[in-house]
């Protein structure tokens, strides 16, 4: 980068020019203009990043007939009768990004599920939803610090 340095140049140049306007910086009249403007790319990025609307399939199509274990790994065999707590079937619908976000961020259960199933699905998402897989863009957007 051409002007790359560790000290902002505005500080250095500002010491000499415009002292008067700098003196007024801490007056209430300046508050109408934001001092911080955050770049928020639009277009598809914005639509994709909307944690409110995106969804994540659990499990992926390749694992659709398998059972999800609390570790996030999958199993080909159903749990033995009477012990459904440690393996969970595929979710019939893709999980809403908003619910997954709340589960990851705040430890809530995904609506319609208990804590065990939520934990297993979260672990599955963490392990299997990698770049290039369906749902990854949604998952990645949930991790973005600005979305929380």
Instruction: State the DSSP code for 25.
Output: G
Residue (of 103, 78, 101) closest to 89 by Cα position: 78
Select 9 or 77, whichever has its Cβ closest to other proteins.
9
* Shortest spacing between CB 148 and other proteins, in angstroms: 10
| Closer residue to other proteins in complex, CB, 76/131 | 131
| Nearer to other proteins (CB atom), residue 110 or residue 138 | 138
Whose Cβ is closer to other proteins: residue 18's or residue 71's? 18
CB of 17 to other proteins, least distance (A): 10
Local structure of residue 91 (DSSP, 8 states):
P
CA–CA gap between residue 85 and residue 79 (Å, rounded): 8
Least Å distance, CB 83 to other proteins, is 34
Find the shortest distance in angstroms from Cβ 56 to other proteins: 10
Separation CA 64–CA 136 (nearest Å): 17
Q: Considering beta carbons, is residue 50 or 75 the nearer one to other proteins?
A: 50
CB of 133 to other proteins, least distance (A): 7
Q: With beta carbons less than 8 A apart as the criterion, state whether 66 and 107 touch.
A: no
Separation in Å, CA 12 to CA 2, 8, 21, 131: 17, 7, 15, 43
d(CA 29, CA 87): 62
Q: Which residues bind to other proteins, rule: CB under 8 A?
A: 1-11, 13-14, 19, 22-23, 25-28, 30-31, 33-45, 47-50, 53-55, 131-134, 136-138, 140, 144-146
């Amino acid at each position: 980068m051409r002007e790359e340095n560790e000290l902002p140049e505005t500080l250095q140049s500002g010491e000499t020019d415009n002292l008067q306007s700098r003196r007024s910086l801490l007056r209430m009249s300046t508050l109408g203009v934001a001092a911080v403007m955050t770049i928020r790319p639009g277009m598809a990025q914005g639509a994709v990043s909307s944690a409110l609307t995106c969804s994540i399939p659990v499990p992926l199509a390749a694992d659709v007939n398998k059972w999800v274990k609390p570790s996030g790994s999958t199993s080909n065999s159903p749990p033995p009768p009477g012990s459904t707590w440690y393996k969970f079937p595929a979710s019939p619908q893709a999980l809403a990004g908003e619910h997954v976000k709340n589960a990851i961020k705040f430890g809530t259960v995904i609506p319609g599920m208990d804590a065990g199933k939520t934990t297993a699905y979260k672990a599955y998402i963490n392990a299997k939803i990698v770049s290039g897989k369906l749902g990854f863009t949604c998952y990645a957007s949930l991790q973005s610090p600005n979305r929380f």
